[in-house]
């Protein structure tokens, strides 16, 4: 996620400002985490296409009259999802799916305010270290881009013969949300702990080995999450609801039947679900490997350092194991809304623990000449 935030010549006042900014960014992280969970619930209930207008300002208010409710309902009745999935469910049924999507969008607006207003306050009072300003502006731009990508994704669901959004745009929306969350969290951690802890040479060697394992686990976890986006986009979790085999086979029939071959990675239900399972299993194996390395590598290290490594590695293994169990349960129970939402939220937990571990295990950097 980039280097830690460096602040040459920082004094006590600057350190206090960094802590305040770091805590503020952690609060925004929590709001993004909730937003990811809301997005999962919106997708699982089919609510995402209920609002067919993108009105960043006027859309903040819900319909305030019966005429406005009927106007929005009439708009919704023009798209394939209504005709093929929800035909005849009436205005009351429309209101049920409308409110969840409205809360989802409102929460996105609140995240924007929770980020932009404190940013303006810190900036106006001169509390932002000069080296941090470009990063904070980049995070603001990423947040705005996420709103645009979200609407582009929703608009794909209005196309003829389509009752859900494009899986490609769904994965782009999810991937950008994870990128934004990761950048916010890494920046906050770097502000709250700007210097990596020093370690003896033999301890540093053990930390490097563990860091490589954690990186592999984190990379595989991210690939698993993106693969999960295609599972969600194709509703692939509604098929092959057995584990560990798929229709009695390790590799399902029809795994590679689409042409051109690359389409199987994104458009083939059997292949998409198998790939998600495989990546999740590899992630679990990598996290277990990191735990073994931390346990064995602590023998020659100082007691505190060994305990720190073990906590980080076992925390990662615990988060991945929990997410793996939730994924299996979600599959076997044929994707109930509450469990599917929890599964998506727990993916952010895995990302969080992985980033915290990587940040804690990052190599110490020599202080800049200006800071000396």
Per the annotation, where are the binding residues for heme? 276, 343
DSSP codes, 90-129: HHHHHHHHHHHHHHHHHHHHHHHHHHHHHHHHHHHTT-S-
As annotated, the binding site includes 276, 343
User: Packing angle between helix 12-44 and helix 167-192, nearest 10 degrees?
Assistant: 160
Question: Are 240 and 275 in contact, with CB atoms under 8 Å apart?
Answer: no
Using DSSP, how many helices (H) and how many strands (E) does the chain show?
11, 0
Collapsing DSSP states into helix, strand and coil, what is residue 239?
coil
Question: How far apart are alpha carbons 166 and 155 in whole angstroms?
Answer: 9
Structure tokens at 4: 């830690």
Q: DSSP letter string over 274-314?
A: HHHHHHHHHHHHHHHHHHHHHHHHTSSS-HHHHHHHHHHHH
Neighbours of 126 (CB within 10 A): 9
Rounded CA separation 252/271 (Å): 8
Residue in this structure with the two tokens 């602040």, named with its chain if needed: 7
**324 to 39, 128, 176, 283: CA distances (angstroms):** 20, 40, 23, 9
Pick from 64, 184, 166, 49: which is nearest to 105 by CA? 49
Distance CA 180, CA 170 (A): 15
- Express the helix, strand and coil content of the chain in percent, nearest 5 each: 70, 0, 25
What is the Cα–Cα distance from 33 to 352, expressed in whole angstroms?
10
């Amino acid at each position: 996620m980039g280097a830690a935030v460096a602040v040459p010549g920082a004094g006590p006042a600057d350190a206090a400002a960094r802590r305040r900014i770091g805590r503020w960014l952690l609060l925004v992280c929590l709001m993004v985490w909730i937003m990811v969970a809301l997005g999962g619930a919106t997708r699982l209930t089919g609510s995402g296409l209920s609002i067919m207008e993108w009105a960043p300002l006027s859309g903040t208010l819900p319909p305030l009259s019966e005429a406005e409710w009927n106007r929005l309902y009439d708009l919704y009745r023009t798209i394939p999802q209504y005709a093929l999935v929800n035909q005849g469910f009436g205005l009351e049924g429309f209101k049920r799916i409308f409110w969840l999507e409205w809360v989802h969008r409102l929460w996105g607006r609140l995240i924007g305010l929770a980020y932009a207003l404190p940013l303006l306050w810190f900036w106006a009072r001169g509390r932002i270290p000069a080296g941090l300003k470009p990063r904070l502006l980049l995070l603001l731009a990423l947040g705005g881009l996420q709103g645009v990508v979200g609407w582009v994704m929703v608009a794909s669901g209005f196309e003829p013969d389509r009752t859900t959004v494009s899986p490609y745009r769904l994965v782009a929306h999810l991937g950008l949300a994870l990128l934004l969350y990761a950048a916010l969290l890494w920046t906050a951690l770097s502000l709250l702990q700007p210097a990596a802890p020093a370690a003896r040479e033999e301890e540093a060697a053990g930390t490097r080995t563990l860091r490589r394992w954690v990186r592999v686990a984190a990379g595989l976890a991210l690939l698993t999450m993106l693969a999960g986006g295609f599972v969600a986009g194709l509703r692939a979790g509604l098929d092959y609801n057995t584990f560990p085999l798929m229709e009695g086979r390790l590799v399902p029939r029809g795994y590679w039947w689409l042409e051109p071959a690359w389409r199987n990675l994104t458009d083939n239900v059997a292949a998409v679900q198998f790939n998600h399972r495989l990546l999740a299993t590899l992630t679990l194996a990598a996290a277990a490997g990191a735990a073994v390395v931390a346990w064995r590598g602590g023998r020659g290290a100082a007691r505190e350092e060994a305990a720190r490594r073990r906590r980080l590695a076992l925390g990662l293994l615990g988060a991945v194991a929990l997410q793996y169990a939730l994924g299996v349960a979600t599959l076997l129970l044929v994707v109930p809304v509450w469990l599917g939402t929890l599964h998506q939220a727990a993916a952010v937990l895995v990302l969080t623990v992985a980033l915290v571990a990587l940040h804690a295990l990052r190599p110490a950097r020599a202080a800049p000449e200006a800071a000396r």
